[in-house]
Amino acid sequence: MGFTMQEKQSLTREFAPRYRQALIRKEKTGILDEYIRLTGYHRKYALSLLKGWGKETFLTVDGKPVKLKTETAKRRKGGGRKPVYGPEVITSLRTIWAFFWFRCGKLLAPLIRDQMPYFQTWTPFGITPDIREKLLRISPATIDRALKNDRKNRSPHGFSGTKPGKLLKKHIPVRTHYPWDERKPGFFEIDTVHHCGTRDSGEFCLTLDATDVCSGWVELRPLLNKAQKWVMEALPNISANLPFSLLGIDSDNGSEFINHTLLSWCDTQHLTFTRTRPYKKNDNCFVEQKNFTCVRDYVGYRRFDTPAEHQALARLYRSLCPLLNYFLPTVKLVDKQRVGAKVRKVYDKPRSPYQRLMASLDLSEEVKAELERRYQQYNPVLLQQEVHQAVDALMELNHRKDLMRQQALAPAALEYI
């Protein structure tokens, strides 16, 4: 473990007098070798430090003796280089960061560069030509430093609501890895996110999350409850609305997936149907990480259990899915190597699922033309506005529902007292 700069300066103060007082060359060499071993300095630099540290020299200036002493230069307070990104740039950056749901610098920087034509026309962002030029060249690290004090821990963690489906497991093969032929668009991992709040009793809404392994394309559908018929309504809807073909699905062992109905539908549609190992969430890692970033991060951990809240979730996902798929960049792990006790991970550059699909060699030109047509229909700023409005409407419904339930319980509580 190396020393800090202050510790190295303390070593220099200790070694310099010993080095200059040593009379034998061999002793000087020993002191110098020990000093280099501790500090890691180059030999010539270490020699100059030990020879000159703390050495006093007297000069005569205007007839008066002046003492000069060799020490480290003290950093001057103030001054220095002026900041490149002033308060007005940081204000615009903070507005964009909050508007697009608090993305990190590595994802926010490419989003700003790709969608600046939309951003500069939206007045609340306050982007002038000078601010536009600076936002186009700001680095991800600078974004993170500028917004460091604005980040907060916002949401707690929930609990799993997966109940095992005991039947048909032997008919659905277990998948623990991805062969090369599945590293192309169309193979989806599916999972459900429970909106049960702090209790999982009774009926409540769920979100079906389907994530394409290759591109990161996400499809979200609200379910009224955990009955398998709602899953069987959502999956054909997802398949029909995808701009590319659905080739296979991989689920956990929940009863909403492990059933005759879904197995028969996959056989009819000639889809590959696999499942994960029980209690191995990392087997479904692609969709598990989307459960938070694409669902929990927007709707939180509240309980949604009414038809009105189900419809509000559907309204939210109609705007959120195209925003996630066409505009918001993500990173994907492309290589992982173990070096001793450390694991070295390599990620590709941030790209949206749409950009990954357009670069794919496995999609036809007709599919890419359809993707481009859909992409031209959307505006990321308007989509994000719709997402904010849908989330606000959902939270308002949930708040009013809780108030009504509290008012209904109040007379009973008073009667009991």
Q: What is the DSSP string of 337-360?
A: EEETTEEEEEEPPPB-HHHHHHH-
295 and 202 part of one domain? yes
Could you tell me whether strands 56-61 and 64-69 are parallel, antiparallel, or unpaired per DSSP bridges? antiparallel
Measured CA to CA, the distance from residue 134 to residue 217 in angstroms comes to: 31
119 and 267 part of one domain? no
250 and 300 part of one domain? yes
Q: What is the pLDDT of residue 8?
A: 87
Q: What is the separation, in whole angstroms, between the first and last Cα of the chain?
A: 66
363 and 324 part of one domain? yes
Coil, helix or strand at residue 4: coil
Q: For the chain, how big is the Rg over CA atoms in Å?
A: 31
Residue 1 pLDDT > 60, yes or no?
no
Question: What tokens does 334 get?
Answer: 């492309």
8-state DSSP, 3: P
Give a yes or no: residue 414 inside a domain. Answer: no
In this prediction, residue 180 has a pLDDT band, given cuts at 50, 70 and 90, of very low
Calculate the CA dihedral of residues 277, 279, 285, 289 and round it to 10 degrees.
150
197 and 268 part of one domain? yes
Give a yes or no: residue 63 inside a domain. Answer: no
223 and 127 part of one domain? no
In this prediction, residue 158 has a pLDDT band, given cuts at 50, 70 and 90, of very low
> Please, are residues 123 and 66 in contact by the beta-carbon 8 Å criterion?
no
Query: What is the amino acid identity at position 20?
Result: R
Q: How many domains does the chain have?
A: 3
pLDDT tens digit sequence for 299-334 = 999 999 999 999 999 999 999 999 999 999 999 888
pLDDT tens digit sequence for 104-142 = 999 999 999 999 999 999 999 999 999 999 999 999 999
180 and 237 part of one domain? yes
Give a yes or no: residue 324 inside a domain. Answer: yes
pLDDT tens digit sequence for 2-50 = 788 888 888 888 888 888 888 888 999 999 999 999 888 999 999 888 8
Q: Which of 106, 123, 150 is the last residue of a domain?
A: 150
235 and 309 part of one domain? yes
Question: What tokens does 247 get?
Answer: 């080739």
Give a yes or no: residue 78 inside a domain. Answer: no
Give a yes or no: residue 66 inside a domain. Answer: no
Q: What is the pLDDT of residue 378?
A: 95
96 and 229 part of one domain? no
Q: In 138-197, which ranges are continuous DSSP H helix?
A: 140-146
Structural domain for 43, as ranges:
5-56
Q: How far is CA 196 from CA 154, 208, 220, 310, 314, in A?
A: 19, 14, 17, 13, 17
Question: What tokens does 193 get?
Answer: 């996110």
299 and 388 part of one domain? yes
**Contacting residues for 191 by C-beta, under 8 A, at least 6 apart:** 208, 209, 251, 252, 284, 287, 288, 291
Give a yes or no: residue 39 inside a domain. Answer: yes
Q: Which of 96, 115, 150 is the last residue of a domain?
A: 150
Cα 360 to its chain centre, rounded Å, is: 23
104 and 134 part of one domain? yes
Please say whether the dihedral angle defined by the alpha carbons of residues 88, 92, 98 and 102, taken in this order, is positive or negative.
Answer: negative
For every residue of 357-401, DSSP letters joined together read HHH-SSS-HHHHHHHHHHHHT--HHHHHHHHHHHHHHHHHHHHHH
Give a yes or no: residue 93 inside a domain. Answer: yes
Query: What is the amino acid identity at position 32?
Result: L
144 and 175 part of one domain? no
Q: Which of 150, 184, 202 is the last residue of a domain?
A: 150
In this prediction, residue 167 has a pLDDT band, given cuts at 50, 70 and 90, of very low
Query: Residue 221 maps to which CATH number?
Result: 3.30.420.10
Give a yes or no: residue 413 inside a domain. Answer: no
